[in-house]
Every structure is written in C-alpha cells, then in structure tokens.
Chains A and B, each alone.
Chain A
C-alpha cells in the first residue's frame, strides 16, 4: 500500500485575467485520481475564485467557476478560505459558492466543504502538509 501524502494547493490569484486559477483547478482534478489527501487553500485575491455568480461572457473566456462544485465528486472535502483575505475585500462566506461533499461513512450526508480559517490556523494547516503547490 502506497503512502498517502497530504497535498495542499494554495491559490492566491484572481480567477480571470491569468491562467493560474484554471491551471490549479486542472492539476487538482488530475491529482485527485491518485487517492491522496487533498486540500485547497484560498488566500489574497484567490478568494475571488470561489465567488458566486461569476460571469465571463464579457471577456470571452470559459466560466470554469462551476467546476469548483464538482470537487466534492472527486472526494475533495477540505477547502480553506483565509478569513483576513475575505475581510480585507469586504467579503464573507455568504459571497462564496456553496461547496459540498457527500460523506460515505455518514449515509452520504451532504456536508459543507468550505472552512473559513484565520491566518494563524492556516499557517498551522500549511505546516502539516507533505506537499504544497502554489498558484
């Protein structure tokens, strides 16, 4: 049995206008096939990636924000959003898309994937990872 490592994908950039957010999401989805312990963190402008009601029709790019809602299907249930980054931008969890996963061990109960954490808590989470990808 292979060792399961803890992977954290750190997202710091706004979703549109650069390729970082989409690339990160694709790597996450590809990596999810390898049965590792995967978590995502959203810091700084990265918190905009999870905003509700994104609309890219004005800039002619694909609106991939719907894809975050599929993360639960890929057994990704740990999505950390830094509270300070939300506060600085006048945002709260209500401005973010609801993201859920289904707990197989709890009769497929639908559970919230997003956890708003302080920068101190996030530092601890980052400290506990085996592998960190920064986008």
Chain B
C-alpha cells in the first residue's frame, strides 16, 4: 500500500504502517488520520510526540500499559487512563497512535 501526498508516494504495510520510519512528517500523520476519518488535535499530538520520543530512546513502541503509565507521569494523572487514550484513539491507543507516529506496530500488541 502507499500514501500519496504532495505528488510523492510513501510505502506502507498492509495495515497502513509506514515502512520507512524516516519518511514520517506531521503532514503524513494528518493524512493517515484523515483516511481513518479523524482529525488530530493537541491532545493527539501530545501522545504522538511522546511515542516518537519513546521510540527514539528505547527503539520500541511501548505497550499500552507502559504508555498509560508514562503519559500519567508526564502529563498528569487524569490522562493516565485507558479511557482517555481510547477516546483519542478509538482503534486502540497503541496501534492507532503508533501508526500516525510512523512507528511499527507495538511489540506484543494484541
């Protein structure tokens, strides 16, 4: 599969995850969200940026449990619930947010 943007095409796997991490731009994230019928606001970006930093540091996309805990530590307890994250990313916070962040599907994601 590919995503077309500004006359360039970007390769993805069959589930829509970017094949080359280095292809990622925030515009591409917006495009992926649009294809899913959603829009990215500040709270979404908070999570997406966090995931990109986590991947940069540890070379993995964190499991939902780890993501939830880390979000709570950094952004406050009220955001450390799977309910909050599922409201932002109804297809599954780890899966959907990782996709928009240009990361591979999280290890052990079920």
Interface residues, chain A, CB within 8 Å of chain B? 26, 29-33, 62-64, 66-67, 69-70, 73-74
Contacts and interface: CB of A to CB of B under 8 A. Distances in A.
Contacts of A29: 60, 63, 107-108
19 contacts: A26-B108, A29-B60, A29-B107, A29-B108, A32-B63, A33-B110, A62-B59, A64-B59, A66-B58, A66-B59, A67-B60, A69-B57, A69-B58, A70-B58, A70-B60, A70-B62, A70-B66, A73-B69, A74-B63
The number of chain B residues touching the other chain, given as a range, is 10 to 19
Contacts of A63: 59
Contacts of B62: 70, 73
B59 A26 contact: no
- Secondary structure of the A side of the interface? helix
B108 A33 contact: yes
A33 B59 contact: no
B65 interface: yes
Interface of B: 57-60, 62-63, 65-66, 69-70, 107-108, 110
B107 to A, nearest CB: 5
B52 to A, nearest CB: 14
B108 A30 contact: yes
A26 B63 contact: no
A63 B56 CA distance: 11
Contacts of B57: 66, 69
A30 B58 contact: no
A26 B107 contact: yes
A31 B57 CA distance: 22
Contacts of B65: 33
A30 B64 CA distance: 12
A63 B63 CA distance: 20
Contacts of B66: 70, 73-74
A73 B70 contact: yes
A108 to B, nearest CB: 8
Contacts of A67: 58-60
Given A69-B57, A73-B69, 14 more contacts: A30-B108, A32-B63, A32-B108, A33-B63, A33-B65, A33-B110, A62-B59, A66-B57, A67-B59, A69-B58, A70-B58, A70-B66, A73-B62, A74-B63
